[in-house]
Amino acid sequence: MRAAAVAAALLLAGEAGAADLVIGRASEQFSLDPQFAYSGNNIATAADMFDSLLGSDAQNQPEPGLAVKWEAVDPLTWRIHLRPGVLFQDGSALTAEDVVFSLRRVKTIVASPAPYNGATRGVASVDLVDPLTIAVKTTSPLPLLVEQIGTVNILSAKAAAGMGSSDMNAGRGMVGTGPYKFVRAVPADRVEMAASPGYWGGKPAWDKVTLRFIPSAAARVAALLSRDVDLIDQLAPADAKMVAASEKATLFSIASTRLVYLALDSAREVSPFITDAAGGKLDRNPLRDARVRLALSKAIDREALAGRLLDGSAEPAGQFVPQGMGGYDATLPPEKLDVAGAKQLLSEAGYPKGFGLTLHASNDRLPQDAAVAQALGQMLRRAGLAVNGVSALPYNVYAPAASRQEYSVFLFSIGSPASNSSGTLTSVLATYDAAKGLGGFNRGRYSNAQYDTVLGQALGEFDEAKRNALLAQATHIAIADTAIVPLYWQVVHWAARKGIVYTPRRDEVIAASFAK
């Protein structure tokens, strides 16, 4: 994936002598299968071994990857031309057959906590034209079709035929076109890779790459400073300041597109972790009421989260993508803290004494995620809600449970690799429809017909300015309904030992290909 950026990073590495690189990662992938989950931990593991049709630069601007040219033959047909001379890590040549196989395979993945089905949304068929050209038919006009399918990792049809995710977890079928080839994996410990000598982007910068999974932020920093690892991700703000002052390591930071938000179980009549104010059974779900959802938003002090708890490594959010991305609307500021207003809304909704809830979160996916959850619990209590508990779990346990709709109010995030808000709006807020590839990350099953209509118009609009205006309109509808509760956008930190330079990226991917 992100092949063009990978190639650029490798060219920057020059002809310096190669060496080994050990990366300390906060979270392990859900699966070695590069198509299993469109989630940061899975994307990062696949990034060095697999490429996709499109790449992106460090600012999320799309670039050619395995595809070098594409055109719309008619409103429902796209023709995509592949890069010639690309070899898989087993020495076989990339052909259109591999791309067709890979795009079709996405729909066969089951039980994913973050499915790729949005990438093939609206795709009616994918067919061979010639050895380096495919034709994609869509069910409706999709001006962003290539950006959609461009995120799918491409596998060798020969190596991966008949292979499911369990096979790949056992090391079978793991053949891509990336700069590093799979060697072995030790669950909950490491993934090892070796340079692929036939890589189309040039000689890889490292002979061997090892991903080590170190959930503890303090342990990752200690491993870096003791030179047990060479590069780490997800530094907590306090650790980032300490590393920046260190003579042993260098800090690399960037404002990302990742939105951290509260997801709300707003669809079901009864929600599993909602009680009355005394902790007893509640026979209705207050989160179905937009006034209650807005009350939760007004109860939150975003400035305190971003400025104090996260020490400035975040920006309060009032919508779904930050400034600079298509669909952003400057007229949507972050909701201000208003405890009295929150209590008034709860009273109007029929909960003058509040109600009870349990807040769920990960404890190793985002900087300070468990601490953020605890702070949110305190804020909700001040607004008159009974917070029965705050439960923070490892992400590889937490995310699948969230996808199974096991929570009521829960902390999540969404990062956008695209240049506009379409991916976030489609995956997080569109009415869930697995067959159509809509709402794949809509874990609260929010649904709004007006929103869906405007979003559908945006996704079918070829004029960029008109499309962005429609995306902003859809955003207004969802914000007015408090579909989710936007909290903040992250500033992301990496650190490397002295002598290594890392290119920080807005998509937050940590990969050997961006280190030199």
- What is the structure's pLDDT at 4? 46
Average pLDDT over residues 54-62: 88
- CA nearest 193: which of 51, 42, 46, 65? 46
Average pLDDT over the chain, rounded to an integer: 94
Tokens, residue 394: 């490892």
Under 8 Å between Cβ of 414 and 439: no
CATH of the domain at 118: 3.40.190.10
Do 143 and 282 lie in one domain? The reply is no
334 vs 348: CA distance, rounded Å: 23
Q: Are strands 190-195 and 206-213 parallel, antiparallel or unpaired?
A: antiparallel
Domain count across the chain: 2
- For residue 238, tell me if it sits in a domain: no
Do 163 and 122 lie in one domain? The reply is yes
- For residue 474, tell me if it sits in a domain: yes
Judged against a pLDDT cut of 60, whether residue 11 lies above it is answered with no
Do 300 and 394 lie in one domain? The reply is yes
Do 302 and 192 lie in one domain? The reply is no
Do 195 and 97 lie in one domain? The reply is yes
Judged against a pLDDT cut of 90, whether residue 125 lies above it is answered with yes
- 433-442 tens-digit pLDDT: 988 889 999 9
Residue 416 banded pLDDT, cuts 50, 70, 90: confident
Cβ contacts of 107 within 8 Å, gap of 6 or more: 117, 120
Dmax over Cα atoms in the chain, in whole Å? 69
Cβ contacts of 72 within 8 Å, gap of 6 or more: 78, 143
Helix (H) or strand (E) holding 160: helix 157-160
- For residue 239, tell me if it sits in a domain: no
Number of C-beta neighbours around residue 73 at 10 A:
11
Average pLDDT over residues 13-20: 57
- What is the structure's pLDDT at 2? 47
Average pLDDT over residues 220-249: 94
Judged against a pLDDT cut of 60, whether residue 229 lies above it is answered with yes
- What is the structure's pLDDT at 488? 97
Judged against a pLDDT cut of 80, whether residue 443 lies above it is answered with yes
- Of all residues in the chain, the percent with pLDDT exceeding 90 is 89
Judged against a pLDDT cut of 90, whether residue 367 lies above it is answered with no
- What is the structure's pLDDT at 181? 98
- What is the structure's pLDDT at 18? 58
- 256-296 tens-digit pLDDT: 999 999 999 999 999 999 999 999 999 899 999 999 999 99
Do 217 and 280 lie in one domain? The reply is no
Tokens, residue 155: 């596998």
Residue 8 banded pLDDT, cuts 50, 70, 90: very low
Give one DSSP letter per residue of 411-447, joined into a string.
EEEE---SSBSHHHIIIIISPPBGGGTB-TT-TT---
- 42-51 tens-digit pLDDT: 999 999 999 9
**Terminal Cα-to-Cα distance of the chain (whole angstroms):** 18
- For residue 451, tell me if it sits in a domain: yes
426 vs 437: CA distance, rounded Å: 9
Do 270 and 217 lie in one domain? The reply is no
Judged against a pLDDT cut of 70, whether residue 136 lies above it is answered with yes
- For residue 401, tell me if it sits in a domain: yes
Number of C-beta neighbours around residue 495 at 10 A:
30
Structural domain boundaries, residue 44: 3-230+500-514
Average pLDDT over residues 365-374: 93
Judged against a pLDDT cut of 50, whether residue 1 lies above it is answered with no
Cβ contacts of 74 within 8 Å, gap of 6 or more: none
- For residue 468, tell me if it sits in a domain: yes
- What is the structure's pLDDT at 330? 93
436 vs 233: CA distance, rounded Å: 35
226 vs 22: CA distance, rounded Å: 13
428 vs 472: CA distance, rounded Å: 15
Judged against a pLDDT cut of 70, whether residue 111 lies above it is answered with yes
Tokens 């490594």, located at residue:
313
- CA nearest 429: which of 437, 420, 439? 439
Do 343 and 409 lie in one domain? The reply is yes
As a three-state string, the secondary structure of 262-315 is EEECCCCCCCCCEECCCCCECCCCHHHCHHHHHHHHHCCCHHHHHHHHCCCCEE
Under 8 Å between Cβ of 261 and 511: no
- For residue 97, tell me if it sits in a domain: yes
Do 203 and 267 lie in one domain? The reply is no
CATH of the domain at 372: 3.10.105.10
Number of C-beta neighbours around residue 140 at 10 A:
11
Residue 7 banded pLDDT, cuts 50, 70, 90: very low
- For residue 206, tell me if it sits in a domain: yes
Do 261 and 405 lie in one domain? The reply is yes
Do 351 and 434 lie in one domain? The reply is yes
The CA-atom distances, in angstroms, between 65 and each of 43, 68, 370 are 16, 7, 37
Cβ contacts of 162 within 8 Å, gap of 6 or more: none
Kindly report which listed range (112-116, 173-177, 377-381, 450-454) carries the lowest average pLDDT score: 112-116
Judged against a pLDDT cut of 70, whether residue 5 lies above it is answered with no
Tokens, residue 468: 């962005």
Q: How many residues does the chain have?
A: 516
- CA torsion 303→267→456→471, rounded to 10°? -10
The CA-atom distances, in angstroms, between 12 and each of 7, 57, 69, 116, 503 are 9, 14, 24, 32, 11
Tokens 């089905």, located at residue:
117
Under 8 Å between Cβ of 157 and 175: no
- Of all residues in the chain, the percent with pLDDT exceeding 70 is 97
Residue 59 banded pLDDT, cuts 50, 70, 90: confident
- 298-352 tens-digit pLDDT: 999 999 999 999 999 999 999 999 998 999 999 999 999 999 999 999 999 999 9
> How deeply is 141 buried, as exposed, middle or buried, from its count of CB atoms within 10 A (0-12, 13-18, 19+)?
middle
Do 340 and 485 lie in one domain? The reply is yes
Tokens, residue 38: 């469109």
Average pLDDT over residues 229-248: 94
Under 8 Å between Cβ of 478 and 455: no
- What is the structure's pLDDT at 501? 97
Tokens, residue 426: 């489609």
